[in-house]
Each structure stands twice: as structure tokens, then as C-alpha cells.
Chain A
């Protein structure tokens, strides 16, 4: 699809998408301030992966597949007349928190003992921040052809370690004593 656009326009679109994705990823990073959160990813209504902030052990294909199932979960309830807003899935040692957004969903993977009120609040804030960017990305017909930016935390441990992952500062910002400063 991107190939059908004029070269200059395609480059501009790609650049715009990359920027939106980078901004989303920067927002996802802030979720790790909550103890117990392993990482998060964002997928569009189609199930396609839009942005991610997860250790490398979660490969993009698996995230897209999972996103597709979670989209179907939303559609299943919608078919019965229930508009899903939030789903919390408990696995033996982990939780998956899914916050439905207008153009997709925010999915957070955490340990079982995560502080849920803190996670919910963080998810609300991040959801609000990324929703417009997700709208922009999801509405773009070329976004499925571009991969999300690789995570900066590829060397991080598997989620089962339970260790708090290092919180990273969003681009252009620094962290001081655990807090993001300008």
C-alpha cells in the first residue's frame, strides 16, 4: 500500500507514523514506574501491534497474535451487547490488563502481585495520552506495513523473575531518584 503513494508522501507518512509510535512507546515506558509491571504493548482494532515496551522475549508476532485474540474477546462481548472497557486476565503468576481504547487497546503485562489501583491509574493516564496517537496510527492505511520501534529494554529479564525492571525516562527527559525530570 505504501508503495502506491508518491515517494515523498510515503516518506512523510512513514515518518509521521514512526513519530507517533515513538511517542506511544515513550508513554508506555512510564507504566514501568508501577512496581510489578513487566511491560506493555498497544494494538489496533485489527489486532496489529502498534507500539511495545516489553522485553525481547515477547516477539512481535506473538504480541500481534495475542492482540488479535484480545480484539476478538472484545468483539465476543460486543456481540452479546456488552461494550468491554477493561479486562483483567489472571494467569498463575501474571496478570494481563487490557484497557480498550477507541482505536485499539492498551495491554499491560504484570506480575500477579502488582498494585492494581496504581496500575489502573497509570493505565488511565497512559490510555488518555496515547488514544489520539493510536487513532492517527490506526487510521493510516500504511501502518500495518511498518513494524513498531524495537524496545529499548531488549536485554531485560523474563517476566517471571518478579524483579522490578529499570524505569526508563522518555526521550528528551532524564530520571533522578526514580522520578522523571525535564
Chain B
């Protein structure tokens, strides 16, 4: 994020910072307790953050307003942060403190990360509906089935060295898997669909046994496992971030594209 900082008055320094995170810049603005509007040009478009009394009091993007807009803007990772002149709203739409906003953002990110499937274009978690009168209803949760289309899967990686990247694999998973589960490295259930806690135990232990079998045989780190049962199949793989994903496909599903990607 590149920032061009300038005080509201004509007195003071002008600064240009490159490589700062947006959140750093927001905290600087909060600490300075300045009253100003900052235009943020990010990968999601243009947004405006209104600072006053040491916190963000209002935010707006092309589609959102209030805290949801602030969270969307704060979720951007690249862009330009520049003070600007802009009309102030009649009333402030954000009551949350700077620290509270940090927590909301962290929670939002966790919720986003816990989805087995990335939701392209999903700007705001549904749980935030109603905050500050934002137009959250435009961002209804997209069902997994809707974003998956046959043939959209990216080209397989080198099958000799499969290493499923979290985001990539996430976006490939489809509604063709009636049972899905994502476990944290510590075994916590991050997300689950059609699965219960018992399955978490099975998946976590099976994963560990697979790792152990590989270690005992002197083979390389565990990547994935496909199990064929009398009445179904189970795919289990470890992502780069250490999370474990388990999928139960429908019987009629063609798993070859996923097998190719996982090197199975």
C-alpha cells in the first residue's frame, strides 16, 4: 500500500510511504486523532474512510456504507491511501472503536478463511448485515454449487510435486461433495458441511496415521490420501497452511481432475 499523508492544515510534513499495510496507516490516522477523509484505491475499487476523534467514523465504497464498507476497504491488500476533500455525512455510521474494528476485521477474515470454498465477489460476511445501514443484502452468500463449473479447474500442477495451495484448492471444491470438512492443524473444525464431530476425529486420526506410515517408510511428507470404501470414497489432503481438508464425493463424480491436482 502506498500512502500519501498530509495534515489537514497547510503546516507540517507531507509523506510518501511505500510498503505499509493499510491497517498501519489507519492506526496512524487514529493515533493522530485527525479529522479527515482518506481515499483508498485498492484492488476492490475506491473507498473512503472518514477519520475523527481517533477512530474511523464513516466509510463508503461504491456499494457499501458504514462498518461493512470499512471492513471491505480494510480487507484490501494493495493500493493507494491518500487524504482528500470530501463532504462529511450528516451522521456518523460507525460507532466501533479502532480496536473494535481490528477485532471485527480479524473475525471477518477468520470466517472467510473457514469457508471451504472461496466466494468470489463476496465482499461482506452475512453476519454483518444491518451495520450502519449498509447495503449488505446485495451480497447474499453464494452457494458452492453456483461457483463451480466443469472445466474451470486450473491446469494441474506438476504431479510429481503436488502441493495444494489453500486458496487454489479451496476455489476448486464443488457442491459435488456433499460432505466436506476443513480442520485446523490442531484438529479444530474450521468448516464442515454434512459432517459431524465424529468425522473430524476420523479425518484427523487418519491424517496422522498416513503421516506416520510415510515417516516409518522413509517417504516424503504426506500430501493426500484417497480411500475407497465398500459404499463410497473419501479424499483427504493437507494444504500448505497445514489445514486438512476431507471430502466425500458423490459416487458418480469424476475425481480425476482432483486426483491429478493432488497427485493421487
Binding site for B on A (CB under 8 A): 57-58, 62-63, 65-66, 69-70, 72-73, 76-77, 79-80, 82-96, 109, 112-113, 159
Contacts and interface: CB of A to CB of B under 8 A. Distances in A.
A36 to B, nearest CB: 11
B216 A77 contact: no
B219 A109 contact: yes
A76 B160 contact: no
B225 A62 contact: no
A63 B221 CA distance: 17
A33 B222 CA distance: 26
Given A76-B206, A80-B199, A90-B223, A69 B229 contact: no
B227 A80 contact: no
B79 interface: no
B202 to A, nearest CB: 5
Contacts of B225: 87-90
B212 A76 contact: no
Interface of B: 159-163, 198-199, 202, 205-206, 209-210, 212-214, 216-232, 234, 262-264
B229 A89 contact: no
Identify which of B202, B219, B220, B223 gathers the most chain A CB atoms within 10 Å of its CB.
B219
Contacts of A112: 159-162, 263
Given A84-B227, A84-B229, A88-B225, 5 more contacts: A63-B216, A77-B227, A95-B264, A96-B214, A96-B217
Contact of A91 (B219, B227, B234): B219
A138 to B, nearest CB: 20
Main DSSP-derived SS at the B contact region: mixed
A94 B163 CA distance: 13
Main DSSP-derived SS at the A contact region: mixed
A112 B218 CA distance: 15
Contacts of A83: 229-231
A90 B264 contact: yes
A173 to B, nearest CB: 29
Identify which of A73, A91, A93 gathers the most chain B CB atoms within 10 Å of its CB.
A91
A87 B212 contact: no
A73 B206 contact: yes
Contact of B226 (A58, A70, A88): A88
A79 B226 CA distance: 18
Nearest to B220: A92
A122 B161 CA distance: 25
Contact of A90 (B224, B229, B230): B224
A89 B216 contact: no
A93 B159 CA distance: 9
A6 B210 CA distance: 42
A99 to B, nearest CB: 10
Contacts of B220: 91-94
Contacts of B231: 82-83
B258 to A, nearest CB: 12
Contact of B234 (A69, A79, A82): A82
A66 B225 CA distance: 15
A77 B160 contact: no
B60 to A, nearest CB: 48
Contacts of B198: 80
Contacts of B222: 89-91
A89 B214 contact: yes
Identify which of B162, B163, B225, B230 gathers the most chain A CB atoms within 10 Å of its CB.
B225
Contacts of B219: 91-94, 96, 109, 159
14 contacts: A65-B216, A66-B213, A69-B212, A73-B206, A73-B210, A77-B206, A80-B198, A82-B232, A84-B229, A85-B229, A89-B225, A90-B262, A112-B162, A113-B159
A87 B264 CA distance: 10
Contacts of B163: 92
B195 to A, nearest CB: 11
B223 to A, nearest CB: 4
B238 to A, nearest CB: 10
A178 B199 CA distance: 46
B241 to A, nearest CB: 17
